[in-house]
Protein backbone atom coordinates (compact mmCIF):
# COMPACT_ATOMS: atom_id res chain seq x y z
CA UNK A 1 0.00 0.00 0.00
CA UNK A 2 2.59 2.51 1.07
CA UNK A 3 4.76 1.74 -1.90
CA UNK A 4 1.86 2.37 -4.22
CA UNK A 5 1.34 5.81 -2.66
CA UNK A 6 4.95 6.68 -3.07
CA UNK A 7 5.09 5.45 -6.61
CA UNK A 8 1.96 7.38 -7.50
CA UNK A 9 3.37 10.54 -6.04
CA UNK A 10 6.68 10.10 -7.80
CA UNK A 11 4.93 9.48 -11.11
CA UNK A 12 2.74 12.54 -10.66
CA UNK A 13 5.77 14.65 -9.99
CA UNK A 14 7.54 13.20 -12.97
CA UNK A 15 4.51 13.73 -15.21
CA UNK A 16 4.26 17.36 -14.17
CA UNK A 17 7.93 17.72 -14.79
CA UNK A 18 8.10 16.18 -18.22
CA UNK A 19 4.83 17.48 -19.60
CA UNK A 20 6.21 20.96 -19.99
CA UNK A 21 5.35 22.20 -23.40
CA UNK A 22 8.05 22.41 -25.96
CA UNK A 23 6.47 25.02 -28.16
CA UNK A 24 8.99 27.58 -29.20
CA UNK A 25 7.90 31.15 -29.27
CA UNK A 26 8.36 32.25 -32.90
CA UNK A 27 9.40 35.71 -31.69
CA UNK A 28 12.79 34.38 -30.67
CA UNK A 29 13.70 33.77 -34.31
CA UNK A 30 13.35 37.43 -35.21
CA UNK A 31 16.41 39.53 -34.45
CA UNK A 32 15.99 42.65 -32.35
CA UNK A 33 16.72 45.79 -34.28
CA UNK A 34 17.53 48.34 -31.68
CA UNK A 35 15.25 51.17 -32.69
CA UNK A 36 16.61 53.85 -30.44
CA UNK A 37 20.17 53.23 -31.43
CA UNK A 38 21.87 56.11 -33.16
CA UNK A 39 24.03 54.81 -35.97
CA UNK A 40 24.74 58.03 -37.80
CA UNK A 41 25.51 61.57 -36.73
CA UNK A 42 25.59 64.07 -39.56
CA UNK A 43 26.72 67.66 -39.14
CA UNK A 44 25.98 69.97 -42.03
CA UNK A 45 27.70 73.34 -42.39
CA UNK A 46 26.33 75.78 -44.97
CA UNK A 47 27.63 79.10 -46.21
CA UNK A 48 25.87 80.52 -49.21
CA UNK A 49 26.03 77.87 -51.89
CA UNK A 50 28.68 75.79 -50.14
CA UNK A 51 27.65 72.83 -47.99
CA UNK A 52 30.14 70.76 -46.06
CA UNK A 53 28.86 67.47 -44.66
CA UNK A 54 30.53 65.63 -41.79
CA UNK A 55 29.28 62.11 -41.07
CA UNK A 56 30.09 59.44 -38.52
CA UNK A 57 28.40 56.09 -39.12
CA UNK A 58 28.57 53.00 -36.87
CA UNK A 59 26.29 50.29 -38.21
CA UNK A 60 27.03 47.69 -35.55
CA UNK A 61 26.02 49.78 -32.54
CA UNK A 62 28.03 48.65 -29.55
CA UNK A 63 29.63 45.94 -31.69
CA UNK A 64 33.37 45.83 -32.31
CA UNK A 65 33.53 47.82 -35.55
CA UNK A 66 34.69 51.43 -35.29
CA UNK A 67 32.53 54.22 -36.68
CA UNK A 68 33.34 55.33 -40.21
CA UNK A 69 33.93 59.08 -40.42
CA UNK A 70 33.66 61.06 -43.67
CA UNK A 71 34.09 64.78 -44.26
CA UNK A 72 33.06 66.14 -47.66
CA UNK A 73 35.72 68.84 -47.84
CA UNK A 74 37.75 71.56 -46.13
CA UNK A 75 36.21 74.66 -44.57
CA UNK A 76 37.00 78.22 -45.54
CA UNK A 77 38.88 80.42 -43.05
CA UNK A 78 37.09 83.22 -41.17
CA UNK A 79 33.71 82.22 -42.50
CA UNK A 80 30.41 81.90 -40.69
CA UNK A 81 28.57 78.67 -41.40
CA UNK A 82 25.01 77.85 -40.52
CA UNK A 83 25.05 74.42 -38.96
CA UNK A 84 22.60 71.61 -38.24
CA UNK A 85 23.03 68.25 -36.59
CA UNK A 86 20.95 65.20 -37.41
CA UNK A 87 20.76 61.73 -35.92
CA UNK A 88 19.71 58.62 -37.79
CA UNK A 89 19.13 54.97 -37.05
CA UNK A 90 20.10 53.29 -40.30
CA UNK A 91 19.51 49.79 -38.92
CA UNK A 92 15.85 50.47 -39.61
CA UNK A 93 14.72 50.49 -43.16
CA UNK A 94 13.85 53.10 -44.16
CA UNK A 95 16.29 54.83 -41.81
CA UNK A 96 14.64 56.36 -38.77
CA UNK A 97 15.28 60.04 -38.13
CA UNK A 98 15.89 60.54 -34.44
CA UNK A 99 16.47 64.30 -34.80
CA UNK A 100 12.78 65.01 -34.33
CA UNK A 101 12.73 63.08 -31.08
CA UNK A 102 15.64 65.12 -29.76
CA UNK A 103 13.85 68.28 -30.74
CA UNK A 104 10.60 67.25 -29.09
CA UNK A 105 12.42 66.31 -25.92
CA UNK A 106 14.61 69.40 -26.18
CA UNK A 107 14.59 70.01 -22.43
CA UNK A 108 16.19 66.59 -21.92
CA UNK A 109 18.90 66.92 -24.53
CA UNK A 110 21.78 69.16 -25.44
CA UNK A 111 24.42 68.96 -28.11
CA UNK A 112 27.92 70.13 -27.31
CA UNK A 113 30.60 71.23 -29.76
CA UNK A 114 34.14 70.93 -28.54
CA UNK A 115 37.11 72.07 -30.60
CA UNK A 116 40.41 73.81 -29.93
CA UNK A 117 40.08 77.63 -29.92
CA UNK A 118 42.01 78.00 -33.17
CA UNK A 119 39.23 76.24 -35.06
CA UNK A 120 36.77 79.01 -34.20
CA UNK A 121 33.54 79.54 -32.25
CA UNK A 122 30.20 77.75 -32.00
CA UNK A 123 27.00 79.55 -31.04
CA UNK A 124 23.62 77.94 -30.37
CA UNK A 125 20.73 79.30 -32.44
CA UNK A 126 17.86 77.20 -31.08
CA UNK A 127 16.08 76.90 -27.74
CA UNK A 128 13.97 74.34 -25.91
CA UNK A 129 10.65 74.97 -24.15
CA UNK A 130 12.51 76.57 -21.24
CA UNK A 131 14.53 78.91 -23.42
CA UNK A 132 17.72 76.86 -23.05
CA UNK A 133 19.77 75.85 -26.08
CA UNK A 134 19.48 72.38 -27.63
CA UNK A 135 22.14 72.66 -30.36
CA UNK A 136 20.34 71.11 -33.34
CA UNK A 137 21.03 74.39 -35.10
CA UNK A 138 24.02 76.62 -34.54
CA UNK A 139 26.48 78.92 -36.24
CA UNK A 140 30.12 78.11 -36.62
CA UNK A 141 32.60 80.91 -37.28
CA UNK A 142 35.90 79.50 -38.45
CA UNK A 143 39.28 80.93 -37.54
CA UNK A 144 42.44 81.14 -39.61
CA UNK A 145 43.81 78.18 -41.50
CA UNK A 146 44.31 75.26 -39.12
CA UNK A 147 43.59 71.59 -38.55
CA UNK A 148 42.12 69.87 -35.53
CA UNK A 149 39.28 67.76 -34.26
CA UNK A 150 35.68 68.70 -33.65
CA UNK A 151 33.83 66.60 -31.09
CA UNK A 152 30.05 66.63 -31.24
CA UNK A 153 28.27 65.10 -28.26
CA UNK A 154 24.59 64.48 -27.65
CA UNK A 155 23.95 64.40 -23.93
CA UNK A 156 20.75 62.93 -22.50
CA UNK A 157 19.34 64.51 -19.33
CA UNK A 158 22.08 67.11 -18.87
CA UNK A 159 21.91 69.62 -16.06
CA UNK A 160 20.99 72.57 -18.24
CA UNK A 161 21.27 74.97 -15.31
CA UNK A 162 24.89 73.99 -14.66
CA UNK A 163 27.48 76.76 -14.82
CA UNK A 164 28.46 77.45 -18.42
CA UNK A 165 26.24 74.69 -19.84
CA UNK A 166 23.97 77.13 -21.70
CA UNK A 167 27.09 78.55 -23.37
CA UNK A 168 28.14 75.12 -24.59
CA UNK A 169 30.54 74.13 -21.83
CA UNK A 170 30.09 70.40 -21.15
CA UNK A 171 32.06 70.41 -17.89
CA UNK A 172 29.10 70.76 -15.55
CA UNK A 173 26.50 69.12 -17.75
CA UNK A 174 26.46 65.64 -16.20
CA UNK A 175 23.91 63.35 -17.87
CA UNK A 176 24.66 60.42 -20.08
CA UNK A 177 26.26 60.56 -23.48
CA UNK A 178 23.98 59.18 -26.21
CA UNK A 179 26.35 60.00 -29.04
CA UNK A 180 29.86 61.31 -29.27
CA UNK A 181 31.61 61.61 -32.59
CA UNK A 182 34.96 63.05 -33.64
CA UNK A 183 35.39 64.78 -36.99
CA UNK A 184 38.76 65.84 -38.41
CA UNK A 185 38.54 69.51 -39.46
CA UNK A 186 40.68 71.27 -41.99
CA UNK A 187 40.37 75.03 -42.45
CA UNK A 188 41.99 76.50 -45.55
CA UNK A 189 42.63 80.13 -46.44
Partner 1 sequence: MQQRLIILTCLLLCGFGALAQFSASGTVTGTTGIALGGAHLHIGSRQIAADATGHYTVSGLAAGKVKFHVSYIGYQPIDTTVVVSGDIVLDFKLRVSVSALEEVAIQQPAGSRGTVREARIKTETIEKYSSQSLGDALKEVAGVSSLKTGSTVVKPIINGLYGSRVPVISNNVRLEDQQWGTEHAPNFDVNAAGKITVIKGASGLQYGGDAVGGLVLLEPLSVKKDTLMGKTIVDFSSNGRGGSISSGLHKGNVEGWSWNALGTFKYFGDREAPDYVLSNTGNREANFSGDVNYTTSRYEASVFYSYYRAQIGILSASHTGNVNDLYRSINGKVPSVIDDFTYDIGNPKQKVAHHLLKTAFNYHLSDNADLSAQYAFQFNNRQEFDVRRGNYSNLAALDLDLETHSAQIDYKNLLGDWTLKTGASGAYQSNFADPATRVRPLIPTYKKYDAGVYGIASWAVSPSLVLESGVRYDFSKIDAVKFYQVSRWEERGYDADFADIIYGEQSSQYLTKPSFTYHNVSASLGFRKQFHHEWDWYANASLASRNPNPSELFSDGLHHATGVIELGDLRLKQERAFKISTSVGKRWQRLSIDFNPYLNIIQDYMFLQPVGFETTIRGAFPVWEYRQTNARLAGVDFQSKFQATKHWRHELSLAYVNGRDVSGSADLIDMPPLNIGNKIQFAKEEWNRLLLELKSEWVTHQSQYPRNNFETNIVVDGVQVPVIVDISTPPPAYHLLHFYSEVKFKTLGAQTTLAFAVQNILDTRYRDYLNRQRFYADETGRNFQIQLKFNY
Q: Are strands 80-89 and 40-47 parallel, antiparallel or unpaired?
A: antiparallel
Among 4, 48, 94, 117, the residue binding partner 1 under the rule CB under 8 A is: 117
Q: Are strands 176-188 and 75-76 parallel, antiparallel or unpaired?
A: parallel
Radius of gyration of the chain (CA): 26
Give every strand in the sheet of 75-76, ordered side by side: 75-76, 176-188, 146-156, 109-114
Minimum CB separation of residue 69 from partner 1 in Å reads: 10
DSSP 108: G
Q: What is the largest CA-CA distance in the chain?
A: 102
- Count CB atoms within 10 A of the CB of residue 74: 13
Choices 43-51, 73-81, 129-137, 155-163; region in contact with partner 1 by CB under 8 A = 155-163
Q: How far apart are CA 179 and CA 36, in angstroms?
A: 12
Minimum CB separation of residue 33 from partner 1 in Å reads: 6
Q: Which is nearer to partner 1, 75 or 91 (CB)?
A: 91
- Count CB atoms within 10 A of the CB of residue 105: 14
**x/- binding map, residues 14-33, to partner 1, per CB under 8 A?**
x-xxx-x---xx-xxxxxxx
Among 71, 105, 107, 132, the residue binding partner 1 under the rule CB under 8 A is: 105
Q: Which is nearer to partner 1, 42 or 133 (CB)?
A: 42
Residues 46-75 that bind partner 1 (CB under 8 A): 56-67
Report the interface residues with partner 1, using CB under 8 A. Answer: 2, 5-6, 9-10, 12-14, 16-18, 20, 24-25, 27-36, 38-41, 56-67, 91, 98, 101-102, 104-105, 114-117, 119, 148-149, 151, 153, 155-157, 159, 170, 174-182
Amino acid sequence: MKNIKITTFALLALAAFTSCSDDDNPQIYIPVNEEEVITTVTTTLTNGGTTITLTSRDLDGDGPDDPVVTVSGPLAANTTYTGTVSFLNELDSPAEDITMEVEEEGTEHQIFFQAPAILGDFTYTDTDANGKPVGLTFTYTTGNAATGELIVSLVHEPNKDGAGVADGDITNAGGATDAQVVYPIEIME
